[in-house]
Amino acid sequence: MDIGKIQQTEITTELSKSYLDYAMSVIVARALPDVRDGLKPVHRRILYAMHLMGLHFVGSSTTKSAKVVGEVLGKYHPHGDMAVYDAMVRLAQIFSMRYPLVHGQGNFGSVDGDPPAAMRYTEVKLAKIADMMLADMEKETVFFFPQFYQIYFLWVAKVLQSEWLQKFLHII
């Protein structure tokens, strides 16, 4: 690759190559379940958020699905609320998962294709098997890297400590 040199190329060729690269990265990184646990990133984020919210199978009651969806959207998965809710519904359906990871209360759809109720009408907590999966989370058995929420606050902290901002604040 010639760095610093301008290369002539057809825009249609570049667009098709770039789109294909992007599409493959999306399929590999987000759309296909991980072979290790069969979960997509959105599923992991839902389970992690529920774990941190204390929605354990034993010792906690169910909470509104909308609250869990809001927590996931706000901290871990900045996409549409229905994408997160649909993923959570799938985790609760006994006909979609061999072992449901979310214990749902309310209408979570049917095998006949009936849609689930709106998130304001359903409640969730972790299923017993999900609690067992997440039991040793605090022992750092899995590598975590910051999500957009944590990165944003790290960036804000860095900006607040920067020299140019301090000078700017003294001018005001």
pLDDT band at 27 (very low <50, low <70, confident <90, very high): confident
Q: Domains of the chain (ranges plus CATH)?
A: 34-170 (3.90.199.10)
Nearest to 64 by CA among 38, 88, 45: 88
User: What was the pLDDT predicted at 50?
Assistant: 97
In angstroms, what CA-CA distances link 18 with 8, 9, 34, 135, 169?
15, 13, 24, 41, 43
User: What was the pLDDT predicted at 169?
Assistant: 58
User: What was the pLDDT predicted at 56?
Assistant: 96
Residue 80: exposed, middle, or buried by beta-carbon count in 10 A (0-12, 13-18, 19+)?
A: exposed
What's the first-to-final CA gap in the chain, in angstroms?
48
* Annotated active-site residue in 22, 121, 149, 152: 121
Q: Is the pLDDT of residue 135 over 80?
A: yes
What's the mean pLDDT in 114-142?
91
Partnered with residue 125 across adjacent β-strands are 103
CB 88 within 8 A of CB 65: yes
Range list of β-strands (E), the chain = 63-64, 102-105, 123-126
Catalytic annotation on 19?
Answer: no
Number of CB atoms found within 10 A of residue 76's CB: 20
pTM of the model: 0.73
Partnered with residue 63 across adjacent β-strands are 124
Pairing of strands 63-64, 123-126: antiparallel
Dist. CA 107–CA 116, nearest whole Å:
5
